[in-house]
Amino acid sequence: GVTTVKKKCRAPVPGLSPAVTVRSTSHGPSCSVSGREWVRPSGFDTGLKTFNSLSKQKEPLILTREGVATWYSCGPTVYDHAHLGHASSYVRFDILQRILSRLFGITVIHAMVITDIDDKIIRRSWEENVSPAAVSTVYEDEFKRDMLSLKVVPPAVYLRVTENVHHIVAFIEKIIRNGHAYATKEGDVYFDIQSIGGRYGRFVGATPEFTDRKLYGSAGSSNKRDPRDFALWKPWKPREPYWESPWGRGRPGWHIECSTIASSMFGGQLDVHSGGIDLAFPHHENEIAQSEAYHQCGQWANYFLHSGHLHLKGSPEKMSKSLKNYISIKDFLRSYSANEFRMFCLLSKYRSAIDYSDSSVLEARSTLDTISTFCHDAQAYMKGQLQCSHVQEDLLWSRLAETKSTVMSTLADDFDTPRAISALMNLVYHGNCQLQPVSTVTPAGAARSPAVFGAMVTYVRDVLDVFGIDLHTKVLSSRGSLQPVVEQLTQFRSKVREFALARRDGSSTGSPSRAGLHPDRLPLLKACDALREDLAPLGVLIKDRGATSTWEIKMSVKEE
């Protein structure tokens, strides 16, 4: 077949390559296939590859509509505080969506369900003697605030289960009509696994927590036709909320909500479905069975992306509420920043399990500090405040071009953020190697290379901005008024220091060597040093660079 290449007219981020979209015409519609084998969809090849849990290998990311990705994700069950295990999954997928939209020019239409009715919510409401709606409202609002505090871009729409029960009832009715579900005399409705033959079991064993209990479920109703059959509708029990249905009063089963809501949003074809690896089986497995039974197609979602678990370092078990081994997002943000958590996530592949410890977050902090210091020093050089030896400008331009190419290719290869960050840090290293201060004052008119450092700083900031890390936050909030104060203070200190360093022979090399200085001015020099040391614990870092000084405000966690 013939393929056509369509280049987009602009790069979404300055200095980064534009996306290339290739029309793939090798296969028919996904809903015409059958069986458990993944079939490459027809549509538009983005040029990216991603690990697809359906095929268990990297596949070209092909979208149904050019430049648009439909994306559904399982949201929270809102009965308790969100913790870092949840945060790692949501932040990692937020980073992937940012890469798609801001680097590759793809519009991501993201829908997320809020599970606001569930056994855990009902139990919590009994414990607190309030309605299930009161419990879910409190924790839904808290979840959304937590996501904003972590700089997670909200989905195009949040959809609550309780507002879609009528759609769920209709969805179940059609599955029954299609011959893939049955009602019992007790008022249960079960999905009929045997009706889909050998198609069930794509994700069996996807997670180490897989057990026979997960495969066959709890004992449930003795009227199940097969132990693997799972509930689409549960009959009402005293003290529980209920909705009317053709099978009597009751409420939806867990899995049916996602199939219904994703289908109501995107129809019978979904590009990407994401979630934590713990949801692969049975939840995502059952979603596939329901959706393909409803739409009568062979491949409802073309790509399933799963994020790895977050573990407390030294613990083999994932962080979870049920195990009581979690750290809440609020507690984390009392000690660290959203930028630091994002960098922590970026330093590992999104599919990998990730070990959480103070040392691993401090590694992320150190990485950000290295980048921030480079950007500050480069700006000082551009302003003429930092005197350096000869800069190998051509080398830096070459390194910048290599970094751009490497970042794009690594992110197009299953969103490999660790390699992208490594390339960025390598660029920073080469920049720092050229920013070697000298104590002598550079003669006026001497060759300088500010433009290449401007390009490097702009590029580094742009890439971090794609990832959701904003180095500009340092000048926001109260710092907007603090910066000019520090600038004036540093200028005054520099003049005093210059006066103190003047030598008796009239020369001024900027060297703090005591030989040849005016003895009566030494107390001024000591006072300048003391001021520098006193300001450091307050977050104001002054660096003396020969005859001049530069300054930087280090961001505290609460002010980010």
Give tens-digit pLDDT for 101-116. 999 999 999 999 999 9
pLDDT at 223: 87
Sign of CA dihedral 315, 319, 322, 325: positive
**Residue range 491-504: average pLDDT?**
87
Residue 504 clears pLDDT 70, i.e. is over it: yes
Element (H, E) at 248: none
pLDDT-derived band at 319 (thresholds 50, 70, 90) equals: confident
Residue 5 clears pLDDT 90, i.e. is over it: no
Residue 388's closest CA among 430, 340, 429, 442?
442
8 A C-beta contact, residue 86 and residue 78: no
Contacts of 444 (CB under 8 A, 6+ apart): none
> Which residue type is seen at 193?
I
Calpha distance 296→286 (Å, rounded) = 15
Could you list the beta-strand ranges (E) of 84-125: 107-115
C-alpha distances in Å from residue 38, one per residue of 35, 53, 179 = 8, 10, 24
Phi, psi of 61 (to 5 degrees): -85, 105
**Residue range 346-371: average pLDDT?**
96
pLDDT at 15: 43
Calpha distance 36→53 (Å, rounded) = 12
Mean pLDDT of the chain: 87
Choose the weakest-confidence range: 27-41, 100-114, 481-495: 27-41
C-alpha distances in Å from residue 221, one per residue of 120, 218, 230, 250, 287 = 20, 9, 10, 15, 21
Calpha distance 558→333 (Å, rounded) = 8
pLDDT at 471: 84
pLDDT-derived band at 8 (thresholds 50, 70, 90) equals: very low
Helix axes 338-346, 84-98, angle to 10 degrees: 70
C-alpha distances in Å from residue 304, one per residue of 56, 64, 261, 498 = 10, 15, 17, 63
**315 compared with 335, residue with greater pLDDT:** 335
8 A C-beta contact, residue 298 and residue 292: yes
pLDDT-derived band at 354 (thresholds 50, 70, 90) equals: very high
Query: How much of the chain is in helix, strand and coil states, percent to nearest 5?
Result: 45, 20, 35
CA-based radius of gyration for the chain: 29
pLDDT at 307: 97
Extract the tokens encoding 155.
Answer: 């989905």
Residue 207's closest CA among 75, 300, 304, 343?
304
How many CA within 13 A on the CB side of residue 167?
17
Helix axes 358-382, 450-466, angle to 10 degrees: 150
Calpha distance 492→471 (Å, rounded) = 27
Choose the weakest-confidence range: 282-291, 330-339, 396-405, 472-481: 472-481
C-alpha distances in Å from residue 408, one per residue of 51, 57, 460 = 17, 21, 13
Calpha distance 193→182 (Å, rounded) = 11
pLDDT-derived band at 369 (thresholds 50, 70, 90) equals: very high
411-466 pLDDT, tens per residue? 999 999 999 999 999 999 999 999 988 766 666 656 789 999 999 999 999 999 99
- ∠ at Cα 416 (315, 429), nearest 5°? 100
Residue 50's closest CA among 304, 391, 289?
304
Extract the tokens encoding 329.
Answer: 């997002």
Calpha distance 178→192 (Å, rounded) = 11
Residue 143's closest CA among 344, 318, 330?
330
pLDDT at 323: 61
Choose the weakest-confidence range: 210-214, 321-325, 430-434, 467-471: 210-214
- 3-class secondary-structure state, position 127: helix
Extract the tokens encoding 373.
Answer: 């210091």
pLDDT at 553: 82
> Which residue type is seen at 407?
V
Calpha distance 271→70 (Å, rounded) = 5
How many CA within 13 A on the CB side of residue 457?
19
Q: Which residue is associated with the tokens 């490459």?
A: 40
